Structure 1
Amino acid sequence: MLQDKRKICYMSRRLLLDLHLLDIIQSMKQKISTHSYYPLLLDLKNKKVVVVGGGGVAERKVLGLLSAGALVKLVSPKATETLVEMASDGLIDHMAKTFIPEDLDGAWLVISATDDSDVQELVYKEALSKRIFCNVVDQPEFCSFIVPSIVRRGNLCLSISTGGSCPALAQRLRKELGQSIGPFYGDYVSLLGGLRQLIIRSNEDPVTRKELCHSLADPEVMAWVENGEWDRVEKWAVSLCGNEAINIVLNFR
């Protein structure tokens, strides 16, 4: 009798486990059936990026790429005054001509910001054949990546995306977040980054390093930085990292 009960309990647990696995598999199938994007941040420093188009949208894309350290090649018969000035100053390489497939040679990614549908499709097909990431503005069917709305404060970067479903909502959320994430966050994040490097250099024990690094994200310290209470910040930093922290804090006073 006891053996039968144990067998029944085992079978019940097994059935529950199988049902749980079925739920997980079904959930994964649903996610796979819908188009979802994998979020990531790209290191484009000293990497060739092609921008096709020379209007206002292309100008904004170029400015963002330059801030990431990309080597920008602009392909467009015409360009805004700002883009022309950038080319004259050597900030970008402007090819004043119509796009051809060879323009993508050696590129890491391409952004098409032109309203010419034939050029849009050509850029996408060539990028696809050369395994180059491609974004055709406002044409998700011609995109292998999309660009989220961004809130940036120094090294702090918040990305908001609806997966292309409603860019207007992402823009509204960006504005709301931008109002709540003050400018001081730039200094705050840089300060924590400096202290974190000091902790890593000064502590060989991984457990101690982890505990100290976790203690950096203290909301009280964030309030001190926001209010400019640097004496308190310095005292806290020294207690955590030693006297070397004084020089790090001095950079933000």
Structure 2
Amino acid sequence: MAEWYPVMLRMEGKLAVVIGGGPVAERKVCGLLEAGAQIRVVSPELTEGLRTLAEVGRLEWRQKEAEASDLAGATLVFAAAGSSEANLRITAAAAASGIPVNAAEDGEAGDFILPAVLRRGRFILTASVSGAGPALASRVVRELETRYGPEYAEYADELRRIRRIVKERVSSREERRRLLAAAAETDALEEWRTTGIAAEPDRLLERLRDRAGSGQDREKR
């Protein structure tokens, strides 16, 4: 059985080729659009949703059966056609060109699989069972939706600002580690979101040091 290495890819501005124009292909395209990828869809027909995206210029549509030449320039390939024969042919063509390919019908036939995803802005949670039963991963993500609400998008944005300030102003690696750990505590996240303190670097660092010191005091008790 294949062992998978989990990774997050930066796809902004990079080309992803999706073979197929049905509901599965549409789901792949929607995820790629969220990541800012350039998209080429190769299929004789498209779902209404994909056709609309093509009409407004969100993707390139090649209205034809897929060929190896359609993969030129791709960073990733998704074989999601309605035909098993077409998917096998494209998977083989991608492998021959050294392009990582996702095989929708048989995950282990490709180079990567897609986890179920919960996206809250920069805050992204994924769940996977390595292709064994995607329905379980989807259920786990639905459960996580109630635990990690829309506010986590704001938390992640604030933490990004705080991390930049700490890296710029704190020279000690150990102190940076302590301050950033304190910044990610649950009650701290809500403080950053509601007070906007990250806009005042001096005040922010003072507050972080207070929080980090309080945490150390609790550990000593």
Q: TM-score, normalised by structure 1?
A: 0.75
In terms of Rg, which structure is larger?
1
Question: Residue 251 of structure 1 aligns with which residue?
Answer: none
In the alignment, structure 1 residue 241 sits paired with structure 2 residue 205: yes
Partner Cα separation in structure 2 for residue 55 and residue 140 of structure 1: 18
Greater alpha carbon shift after TM alignment, 89-98 vs 134-143: 134-143
Question: Residue 112 of structure 1 aligns with which residue?
Answer: 79
3-state DSSP of counterpart to 1:37: coil
Question: Residue 178 of structure 1 aligns with which residue?
Answer: 145
Identical columns (%): 33
- 1:180-218 per-position Cα deviation (integer Å, ceiling 9, x unaligned): 111111101111111111111122333332222222112
Question: Residue 176 of structure 2 aligns with which residue?
Answer: 209
3-state DSSP of counterpart to 2:124: strand
3-state DSSP of counterpart to 1:78: coil
3-state DSSP of counterpart to 2:18: strand
In the alignment, structure 1 residue 65 sits paired with structure 2 residue 32: yes
Partner Cα separation in structure 1 for residue 202 and residue 141 of structure 2: 36
CA RMSD of aligned residues (A): 2.1
Partner Cα separation in structure 1 for residue 84 and residue 110 of structure 2: 14
Question: Residue 76 of structure 1 aligns with which residue?
Answer: 43
Q: CA deviation at 1:242?
A: 5.9
Instruction: In structure 1, give the amino acid aligned to 2:15.
Output: K
2:92 counterpart (122, 125, 135):
125
Partner Cα separation in structure 2 for residue 207 and residue 88 of structure 1: 53
Contact 2:108 2:131 in 1 (8 A): no
Question: Residue 219 of structure 2 aligns with which residue?
Answer: none
Partner Cα separation in structure 2 for residue 60 and residue 112 of structure 1: 12
Contact 1:140 1:164 in 2 (8 A): yes
Instruction: In structure 1, give the amino acid aligned to 2:205.
Output: C
Question: Residue 58 of structure 2 aligns with which residue?
Answer: 91
Partner Cα separation in structure 2 for residue 65 and residue 35 of structure 1: 24
Q: CA deviation at 1:141?
A: 3.7
Listed as ranges, the gaps of 5+ residues in structure 2 are 208-221
* Structure 1 segments (4+ residues) deviating >6 Å: none
- 1:142-193 per-position Cα deviation (integer Å, ceiling 9, x unaligned): 2110000011111111110001111111111111111111111110111111
Q: Give the number of aligned pairs.
A: 206
Partner Cα separation in structure 2 for residue 93 and residue 67 of structure 1: 16
3-state DSSP of counterpart to 1:158: strand
